[in-house]
Homo-oligomer: A and B are copies of this chain.
């Protein structure tokens, strides 16, 4: 009787893949057990419960996304950095819609504070340094960028831009341009 070698890490990764295939809300302990060809209760030695699984997937996705964004913006500044950040964000969501949905899971404050989510905020601030914004403008700007990126990607993934011209990429570039213009205008320099 071969043991499948379940670990929280393998389960999390498989859960992330499952999310991309069938949607994050279809990620279930049962489906994961089927994927490993084990019985459902076997997973409960490695996972606290169903919500624990979802949180692990969310943290996994946040980390992966933060890595991508960090990589994309490295060595860039100003408009370049903004566009790289934006594209990294959108591309990740398009490649991994289930993981992206997972990354939006509401985390309790302690978990969130210790999560890779803080890396995201730091990177957004780093990009804004190029625009010379003082507080509280910098915070407002971080929130605006987060809102636009998340909002656009959500609407695009939901199919909101599928059946009308112009295509989603054109609007995305127009919007990134607009954000760049706003930030330059807000600059105190």
List of B residues within 8 angstroms of A174 by Cβ: 136-137, 140, 144
Nearest chain B residue, comparing its CB with the CB of A106: B158
Evaluate contact between A136 and B182: CB separation under 8 angstroms: no
Report how far A144 CA is from B170 CA in the complex, Å: 12
Report how far A15 CA is from B140 CA in the complex, Å: 35
Report how far A109 CA is from B161 CA in the complex, Å: 11
Say yes or no for A78: interface residue by CB 8 A criterion. Answer: no
Evaluate contact between B170 and A146: CB separation under 8 angstroms: no
Say yes or no for A41: interface residue by CB 8 A criterion. Answer: no
**How extensive is the interface on chain A, given as a class?**
35 or more
Report how far A149 CA is from B154 CA in the complex, Å: 12
A145-167, CB under 8 A of B: which get 1 and which 0? 01111111011001111011110
Evaluate contact between B144 and A175: CB separation under 8 angstroms: yes
Mind listing 15 A-B residue pairs with CB under 8 Å? Answer: A104-B154, A106-B159, A109-B159, A140-B166, A144-B152, A144-B174, A144-B178, A147-B155, A149-B151, A150-B151, A150-B155, A151-B152, A178-B186, A181-B182, A182-B182
